[in-house]
Amino acid sequence: VQRPVAPRRNVRILLIGERGVGKTSLILSLVSEEYAEEVPSKAEEITIPADVTPEQVPTHIVDYSAVEQTDDQLAEEIQKAHVICVVYSVDDEDTLDRAASYWLPLIRRCSPDNRCPVVLVGNKIDLVDYSTIEAVYPIMKEFTEIESCIECSAKTLQNVSETFYYAQKAVLHPTTPLYNYDTQE
């Protein structure tokens, strides 16, 4: 069902995914422009002012930590998010499998009629000399709410700002029409 979309005055980005994939590191690398070996389990919610974002919209970035938050709190954050980065680690195939088997279905369950765009983020490319994009294509085909995918490294900062730019873009300039999961219309 197509609906007119009012222009957003802010963007709320949530990062989820398996433990240890680097969600907190990505946020802190974006903010400080340097990599810290030691990060807290959950980053404080941060707001990036409009004038320093590529799309000129204030952007809230929200971390998730399984040790600090309950499933109910996670469900609430998923409902509040305008876009969700599902993060996996390119050096650990299981984390991508879990994106498809757990995290993407969870997003659908939590926001059944409110299609939330997703960016699939493969972190830690500094550790490998291959690309996981081939494995990502079938997942993007199954979950059309995935607006884009990107590989990055919180450690070398490669593609970190691009990752958050893709997330902003998925909200402000979605490429796929809004639709209903059940009917795929």
Q: Which residues bind ligand GTP (CB under 6 A)?
A: 19-25, 37, 39, 41, 65-66, 123-124, 126-127, 153-155
Min dist. Cβ of residue 124 to ligand GTP (A): 4
Residue ranges with strand state E in the chain? 11-17, 46-48, 59-62, 83-89, 118-123, 146-151
State the CB neighbour count (10 A cutoff) for residue 56: 12
Distances (CA, A) of 72 to 77, 78, 126: 9, 10, 34
Residue nearest to ligand GTP according to CB distances in the complex: 22
Name which of 52 and 67 has its Cβ closer to ligand GTP: 67
Min dist. Cβ of residue 163 to ligand GTP (A): 11
User: Residue 48: beta bridge partners?
Assistant: 59
Name which of 11 and 27 has its Cβ closer to ligand GTP: 27
Question: CA-CA-CA-CA torsion for 107, 138, 117, 179, nearest 10 degrees?
Answer: -90
Encoded tokens for 146: 């995935």
Min dist. Cβ of residue 20 to ligand GTP (A): 4
Min dist. Cβ of residue 2 to ligand GTP (A): 35
Min dist. Cβ of residue 151 to ligand GTP (A): 10
Give the residue among 62, 36, 59, 41 at the shortest CA–CA distance from 154: 36
Name which of 5 and 127 has its Cβ closer to ligand GTP: 127
Name which of 94 and 142 has its Cβ closer to ligand GTP: 94
Name which of 18 and 145 has its Cβ closer to ligand GTP: 18
Distances (CA, A) of 35 to 25, 126, 155: 7, 12, 5
